[in-house]
């Protein structure tokens, strides 16, 4: 029974990983379009390895923002990985250097393929197969996308600079599944649009991210707040 269950986990994990890993093509092209060279784009995928944060950094740089503003935007989006780690650390049970390696492939997809498993062994299988396969494919396709994007010449002549925003929107859209997330995204977009004319490039992204963080904090606080006592 254990063998078929493991094969099912591997099959499902590979399906998710292959579909996700090919998105690296888009980041490779977007990275070059934002002003990075091929080597810088590939290093981002190798060391940062979290799609939303990578696209956020490229978006800020592509709009003329500073590297510091881009790094802050990427950091804000990457904070959710810390929450994933708190959930997965006791489930996977890694220690020492194994925990450090696991942390590097701690992303949305590897987390999703681990937390639904009934035991540690299957959770580790789903986590490692998903995270490891995506890491390899993401870096390979980033290289292909970056080289292809560089060969096209100046991305602005072809309108590829608009791909930064489009790619990030494509990454965000599937996550807007509830009225709260859609409202938060709309408010953040309106605030960012208002900040475009009054703040330096890159700051509107940080302001929008701050709105999302504030909404999340207020929502979490209201959901954990004990019911008020009704006087007799």
Domain boundaries, the chain: 2-175
In which band, very low, low, confident or very high, does the pLDDT at 206 lie, cut at 50, 70 and 90? Answer: low
Distance CA 189, CA 194 (A): 9
**Helix intervals (H) in the chain:** 2-21, 24-33, 38-47, 51-62, 67-78, 80-92, 96-104, 108-115, 120-151, 163-172, 179-196, 203-224
The rounded mean pLDDT for the chain is 79
Contact 50, 20 (CB under 8 A): no
| Interatomic CA distance for residues 48 and 91, integer angstroms | 24
The pLDDT value recorded for residue 34 is 84
State residue 211's pLDDT score: 72
Query: What DSSP designation does 34 have?
Result: T
pTM, entire model: 0.70
User: For residue 61, what are its two tokens?
Assistant: 């740089």
pLDDT band at 134, cuts 50/70/90? very high
Q: When comparing pLDDT for 226 and 9, which is higher?
A: 9
Q: Which is nearest to 13 in space by CA: 142, 112, 135? A: 112
CB hemisphere CA count around 144 (13 angstroms):
12
Residue 139 in contact with residue 22, Cβ under 8 Å? no
Residue 80 pLDDT:
77
Q: How far is Cα 152 from Cα 29, in angstroms, rounded to an integer? A: 10
| CA dist., res. 207 & res. 76, Å (int) | 11
Are 51 and 135 a contacting pair, CB within 8 Å?
Answer: no
Q: 203 and 69 in contact (C-beta within 8 Å)?
A: yes
Q: What is the pLDDT of residues 17-51, one digit of tens each?
A: 888 888 888 889 888 888 889 999 999 999 999 88
Q: How far is CA 127 from CA 104, 124, 203, in A?
A: 12, 5, 35
Rounded distance, CA 132 to CA 109, Å? Answer: 11
Report which of residues 138 and 173 the model is more confident about: 138
pLDDT of residue 168: 55
Give the three-class secondary structure for 108.
helix
CA 82, 105, 172: angle at the middle one, nearest 5? 70
Do the Cβ atoms of 136 and 21 come closer than 8 Å?
A: yes
Q: How large is the average pLDDT for residues 93-121?
A: 90
Residue 77 pLDDT > 70: yes
The token pair at 95 is 């220690």
Mean pLDDT of 68-93: 84
């Amino acid at each position: 029974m254990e063998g078929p269950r493991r094969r099912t986990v591997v099959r499902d994990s590979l399906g998710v990983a292959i579909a996700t890993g090919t998105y690296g093509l888009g980041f490779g092209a977007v990275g070059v379009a934002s002003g990075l060279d091929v080597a810088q784009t590939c290093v981002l995928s190798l060391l940062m390895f979290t799609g939303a944060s990578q696209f956020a950094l490229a978006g800020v740089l592509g709009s003329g923002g500073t590297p510091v503003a881009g790094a802050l935007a990427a950091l804000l989006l990457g904070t959710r990985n810390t929450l994933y780690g708190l959930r997965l650390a006791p489930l996977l049970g890694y220690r020492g250097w194994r925990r450090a390696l696991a942390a590097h492939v701690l992303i949305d997809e590897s987390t999703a393929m681990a937390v639904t498993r009934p035991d540690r062994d299957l959770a580790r299988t789903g986590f490692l197969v998903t995270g490891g396969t995506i890491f390899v494919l993401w870096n390979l396709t980033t290289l292909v996308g970056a080289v292809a994007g560089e060969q096209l010449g100046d991305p602005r002549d072809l309108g590829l600079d608009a791909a930064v925003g489009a790619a990030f929107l494509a990454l965000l859209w599937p996550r807007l599944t509830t009225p709260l997330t859609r409202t938060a995204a709309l408010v953040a977009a309106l605030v960012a649009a208002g900040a475009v004319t009054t703040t330096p490039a890159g700051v509107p992204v940080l302001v929008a991210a701050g709105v999302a963080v504030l909404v999340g904090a207020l929502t979490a606080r209201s959901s954990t707040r004990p019911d008020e006592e009704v006087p007799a």
